[in-house]
Amino acid sequence: MFDQKIHDELKAYVYRLVDPRTKQTFYVGKGNGNRCFAHAAAAIGKIEEKSAKLDQIRTILNEGMSPQIVIHRHGMTDEQAFEVEGALIDAYLGLTNEVAGHHRVKRGAMTTDEVISSYGAKQTDIKFPAMLIKINREWENIRRARVEGMTEDEFQNKLYKVTRSSWVVGKRREGAKFAISVAHGIIRQVYEIDRWVPCVDNKGKRRHEFEGRVSNNMSHLLHNSVASVFDPGAQNPIKYLNC
């Protein structure tokens, strides 16, 4: 444990937990004081609490070893430490962190086309019958996998899967000729809809999903913004245009 003098010197810091068996970092955290020691204590003292991080620590302890704690950066303000933590979470693969780093959407790891769309996106007007489908939550996992080495085919297949299914949509869906995948107000892909079919979501509820294909004729819309189309605070992920 750190004494008060060390607390004062460290200020806010960022640490890594390393598996001594594999030498691989499995968790990145931001801390003050003795925060970096709290995970092993929780693994021992809170047996009923389950998580990938705690389970890995318990496995290490059961083999007579302890996680190695690396103080990666110290002497920072809290805000500085959050930035370093977020950068390391993006950089290390296979972490057990359940929460993404701070400011990940705006300043996290990006491919070059994401940088272009984030800072150079132009507002576009959709003139044809289409439905906009927001995939903000799913997009974070997709973009991370892409940065970590997902192939373009894998990326496109995953993007299609999360865009097409599964939605609460009425008969108005039949008027939409195109489905536009939107994440954080930016067009990520445009699909030509062939048909809608019934499906069941992961909670067993009846929904609909479309079958279709990437519309190469609409590729000029990629990375443009449709953020102004959505009403502020709107919860419905579906927005119909010209239908």
Indicate whether 101 pLDDT > 70.
Answer: no
Q: Residue 148: what pLDDT? A: 76
Rounded to whole angstroms, the Cα distance separating 181 from 185 reads: 10
Q: How far is CA 174 from CA 19, 68, 165, 192, 195, in A?
A: 53, 57, 15, 12, 8
pLDDT at 111 over 80: no
pLDDT for 164 beyond 70: yes
For range 86-91, the mean pLDDT: 90
Confidence check: pLDDT of 39 > 90 = yes
Per residue in 49-71, pLDDT (tens digit) is 889 999 999 999 999 999 999 99
pLDDT of residue 90: 86
Residue 150 to residues 33, 57, 94, 153, 203, Cα–Cα distance (Å)? 38, 28, 14, 8, 28
Predicted pLDDT at 218: 96
pLDDT digits (tens, 9 = 90+) for 15-31: 999 999 999 999 999 99
pLDDT of 30: 97
E strands, 55-117, in order = 68-76
Measuring CA to CA, which residue among 239, 227, 232 is closest to residue 123? 227
pLDDT band at 167 (very low <50, low <70, confident <90, very high): very high
Confidence band of 197 (pLDDT split at 50, 70, 90): very high
3 state DSSP class of 182 = strand
- Domains with residue ranges and CATH for the chain: 4-107 (3.40.1440.10), 112-241 (no CATH)
* pLDDT tier at 46, thresholds 50, 70, 90: confident
